Amino acid sequence: MLLSHLQKQLILCAIDSVDPKKASIVVYSTCSVMPDENEAVVAYALRKRPHVKLVPTGLEFGKEGFTSFRGKSFGETLKLTRRFYPHVHNMDGFFVAKLHVGKRTKKMDMDEDAVKPELTGIVDDENEAGGQVGEGNVQFDEEEDQKVMEALKRKRLKAKGYRPSKKPQSSSP
């Protein structure tokens, strides 16, 4: 169950990572034949990202994906996915889904009366004024950040067997 949760997060991150101004293709493939890790994850992504659609994989062999399994319904479009079984296809079992990620559009039809969520401390990088959303203002302490980065660097060097100096190295301007 924990693995399928991670896979759901990963597929959403992959979808969100493509250029929002262009249509793109994301291929989701696992070396598993478990519906919880395959069809359930793809169906979840399709529900969460309405601009994503399944398209044919282009693979001529393999079995169609499940549209339902043990009382769970995944939707008819999951027939476009492909399943490969070790005992049928003489290879490791795996699953393939090809997702077309369409251009994202903003929802501009938000009601005037709708309650807007409080977004404290979230940077609004789409705002042309370059300001903050909400009342909070996130501040970064360059000196403190440098100390943390130096400590992590020393820790990595120790893990590799080196003896790093205890003094933080000063960076030249």
> Where in the sequence numbering do the catalytic residues fall?
31
- 103 touches 51 (CB < 8 A): yes
Q: How far apart are CA 64 and CA 73, in angstroms?
A: 15
Identity (one letter) of the amino acid at 48? K
Identity (one letter) of the amino acid at 72? K
Beta pairing class for 82-84 and 94-101: antiparallel
Nearest Cα to Cα of residue 41 among 105, 89, 32: 32
**Burial group, residue 81, by CB count within 10 angstroms (0-12, 13-18, 19+):** buried
Residue-by-residue DSSP string for 46-70: HHH-TTEEEE----SSSEEPPSEET
Q: Which of helix, strand or coil describes residue 132?
A: strand
